[in-house]
Homo-oligomer: A and B are copies of this chain.
Amino acid sequence: MAHRAAIVGAGHTRFGVLDDGPRALLRSAVDGAFASVDKGAERSQVGESFLASLGFGGWQIGNSSAVLSEESGITGAPSSRVENACASGGYALRSGVFAVEQGGSPLVLVAGLEKMTDVTNARRRYWLGVSGDTEWERAAGLTFAGVYGLIAAEYLHRYPGARDALAEVAVKNHENGTRNPNAHFQKRVSREEVLRAPRVADPLGLYDCCPVSDGAAALLLAPADQAHQYTDTPVFVDGLGAGSDRLAVQERPELTRFSASRRAGDEALRDAGIDRSRLNFLEVHDCFTIAELLALEDLGFADPGGAVDLTLSGATRPTGRLPVNPDGGLKSKGHPIGATGVSQVYEIFLQLRAAAGTRQVPGAEAALAHNVGGAGATAAVSVFSRG
């Protein structure tokens, strides 16, 4: 397996409704990433940085890559913002690996950030809503919950048992979140609570939807052949894949499959030269419970409709044969837009170093991260190993 780059450090804030502003969140995640480098790393070694962010909530801070430079103590070094809606983090990792590969920098910093809870619901609905199709869908009243509700309705229509599988995703990810001290929710929910919850966008109820969260995460990347200068336990990026699709769901041939995810997953696995069966767990983009089922199918771990049985069998639980979202996923850990794709890789960094504490997936050697923008308009998938 060829390594494209190594992760040698990673940091993460709490996700949730936080008092901290965007600068403090960014600083905290980046400081954490530096502190996590076993043999030490200097700010001056960072030759390039990338910030994944949709925008900074109510803070009205633009040109935010310069803010990343400032708060990271690396002013001077090139920095740029990568924005692909909810897939910003996965795409920023991709750009970070490209920067490592072109060889000019000892270290490359990839950070993700969102400060979401300091704006009104109305503003946030606009802010998030424009990442979907404005011209035909949002104008008709479709929020993202609405779009995923339509997808879920079609999925339920096709596949018996799907409503129970959605509930199981919520139950499992909430349970997982209780073992992640950074998770927004630290709360178990029962199958009955999920099924009885108030509807948000039929058939999706309250516990089928991820929360609106603040948070940040950061990664330090190094060339694979230099990783051991920084740590004896690097985690390697072995494969990258990404894809795009029509922005409007209505213009796609099928509601219940995301071709961007399928393309990104196939490409990442091919790039890594690894078989699906060798992956020990997955971090997938479960912004709504239906999205976790779609991910399992789009990434090739189940046939269309097969995610129902896979999920209901318990296979995706931490004790199953293919744990999914051991950190709680977007569902329970929270979903600070730009931070999410970076946070997924933070979890993989911990797990593949056997440092995930009470939520450790035993013997994890390889994993995959799957990050979706909009309702499947863009997707990024990456494959990792402990080398």
Interface residues of A (CB under 8 A from B): 48, 54, 59-63, 65-67, 69-70, 74-85, 91, 94-95, 97-99, 101-102, 126, 129-132, 134-135, 138, 241-247, 259-260, 263-264, 373-374, 377-378, 380
Q: Are A132 and B98 in contact (CB under 8 A)?
A: no
Q: A243-B77, A245-B75 are in contact. Are A131 and B98 (CB under 8 A)?
A: no
Q: From the candidates B61, B84, B259, name the one contacting A130 in the complex (CB within 8 A).
A: B61
11 A-B pairs whose Cβ atoms sit less than 8 Å apart in the complex: A61-B130, A63-B84, A63-B85, A69-B245, A76-B260, A78-B91, A78-B242, A78-B243, A79-B244, A82-B82, A98-B102
- Contact flag A378-B80 (CB < 8 Å), given A245-B66, A246-B66, A247-B67: yes
Residues of B within 8 A of A244 (CB): 65-66, 69, 74-79
CA distance A67 to B85 in the complex (A): 12
A84 x B80 contact (CB < 8 A): yes
| A49 → chain B closest CB, angstroms | 8
Whether the Cβ atoms of B377 and A66 lie closer than 8 Å is yes
Query: Taking the nearest CB of chain B, how far is it from the CB of A381, in angstroms?
Result: 10
Interface pair B80/A130, CB less than 8 Å apart: no
A21 closest partner in B (C-beta): B135
What is the minimal beta-carbon distance from A216 to any residue of chain B, in angstroms?
Answer: 17
Residues on B with C-beta less than 8 A from A134 are: 59-62
Residues of B within 8 A of A247 (CB): 61, 63, 66-67, 70
Contacts of A60 in B (CB 8 A): 126, 130, 134, 138
Are B63 and A374 in contact, with the CB atoms below 8 A? yes
A374 to B70, CA, bound (A): 15
Bound together, the chains give a CA A232 to CA B226 distance in angstroms of 40
Specify which of B102, B246, B378 is in contact with A79 (CB 8 Å cutoff).
B378
How far, in angstroms, from A102 to B5 measured CA to CA in the complex? 12
Residue of B nearest to A69 (CB): B244
Contact, CB under 8 Å: A76 / B131: no
User: By the criterion CB–CB under 8 Å, are B65 and A84 in contact?
Assistant: yes
Cross-chain contact A131 with B246 (CB below 8 angstroms): no
Give chain B nearest CB distance to A357 CB in angstroms: 33
Q: How far is the CA of A84 from the CA of B53 in the complex (A)?
A: 12
| Inter-chain contact A132/B75, CB cutoff 8 Å | no
Q: Which residue of B lies closest to A74 (CB)?
A: B244
CB distance from A52 to the nearest CB of B (A): 10
A80 contacts across to B, CB distance below 8 A:
82-84, 91, 94-95, 242, 378
- The answer to whether B85 and A62 touch across the interface, beta carbons within 8 angstroms, is yes
Query: In whole Å, how far is A20's beta carbon from the nearest beta carbon of chain B?
Result: 15
Q: A63-B131, A66-B377, A98-B101 given. 18 additional CB < 8 A pairs? A: A60-B126, A61-B247, A62-B130, A63-B247, A63-B377, A65-B84, A66-B245, A66-B246, A66-B247, A76-B263, A77-B244, A80-B84, A80-B94, A80-B242, A80-B378, A82-B83, A98-B99, A102-B102
Cα distance A245–B131 in the bound complex, in angstroms: 30
Q: How far is the CA of A316 from the CA of B91 in the complex (A)?
A: 40
Looking across the interface, which residue of chain B has its beta carbon closest to that of A65?
B84
Bound form: Cα–Cα A87–B349 in Å: 33
Q: Which residue of B lies closest to A245 (CB)?
A: B75
